[in-house]
Amino acid sequence: MSEWWTYTLSDFLLFSPSTYFRLFELYNAAIWPLQLAAVALGLVSAILLVRGKGARAIEAVLAAAWAWVAVAFLARRYATINWAAVYFAWAFGLEAALLAWTAFAGRIRAARPTFPARAGFAILAAAVVLWPLAAPLWRGGWRRAEIFGLTPDPTAVGTLGTLLALEIRRRWRLMILPAIWCLISGATLLAMKAPDWAVGPAAAVLTCALAVQQTRSARAAAEK
């Protein structure tokens, strides 16, 4: 029996890289042309965010996105190659419920135009626009593109960016699951030696660090 320290991340994969990336190709073909609507909603959310308007509408869009990914991608597709995806789907469903509750019952508004808030907008814009544009480089073709609101990674990163640009009571509870997903996905992509494996984890670390800075600055301003 091999010693445990001889194992690598790739030894724990339940599927091959080709099977994983083929999953996105089949998924995109099955839901076309929803990608166009998802990108449009993402762009509208980004525009509202930079204008400081529609905070509740943006949160509602995020809630719908997490619910869609939970059912359409994780539960119905990813679970066919990874048994753990069922649990991921429940986690995404929980995040959708938290976002929906915040949208309709929470205290929420656009944040002041500080550096963290501007960075949050930039992160959302990158998740909506740059993520699918990088598909030929990262995935080998447009058919394997990952779209904000339809697939997990850009949805999680875009959500973290959005939360930076909004003032929400108890924001941290909304950031936990997206940040954890970024780390899980990053580890999965690293095991497959994907070139973009560090993007999600880096975004999670950056947004959490900026959120800490933002919170400290708000408290310092309130004490003056």
Answer yes or no: is 7 within a domain.
Answer: no
Q: Crossing angle of helices 172-191/199-223, nearest 10°? A: 160
> Does residue 10 or residue 200 have the better pLDDT?
200
With a pLDDT cut of 70, the percent of the chain lying above it is 91
Tell me the per-residue pLDDT of 104-121, one tens digit each, with 9 for 90 and over. Answer: 887 788 777 788 889 999
Question: Does the residue 17 lie in any domain?
Answer: no
- Structural domains in the chain (count): 1
Q: Classify residue 106: in a domain, yes or no.
A: yes
Taking only the tens place, the pLDDT of each residue in 155-193 is 999 999 999 999 887 889 999 999 999 999 999 999 999
Please check whether residue 44 lies inside any domain of the structure: no
In a domain, 67, yes or no: yes
**How far out from the chain centre does Cα 70 lie?**
12
pLDDT of 67 over the 80 cut: yes
Query: Rounded to an integer, what distance in angstroms lies between the CA atom of residue 148 and that of residue 159?
Result: 9
Domain containing residue 85:
55-223
Half-sphere exposure of 97 (CA within 13 A, CB side): 6
Mean pLDDT over all residues of the chain? 90
Q: Residue 222: what residue type?
A: A
Residue 18 within a domain:
no
* 5 inside domain: no
Asked whether 60 and 108 are in contact (CB, 8 A), the reply is no
Q: What is the pLDDT of residues 42-61, one digit of tens each?
A: 999 999 888 888 889 999 99
pTM of the complete model: 0.92
Residue 8, domain member (yes or no): no
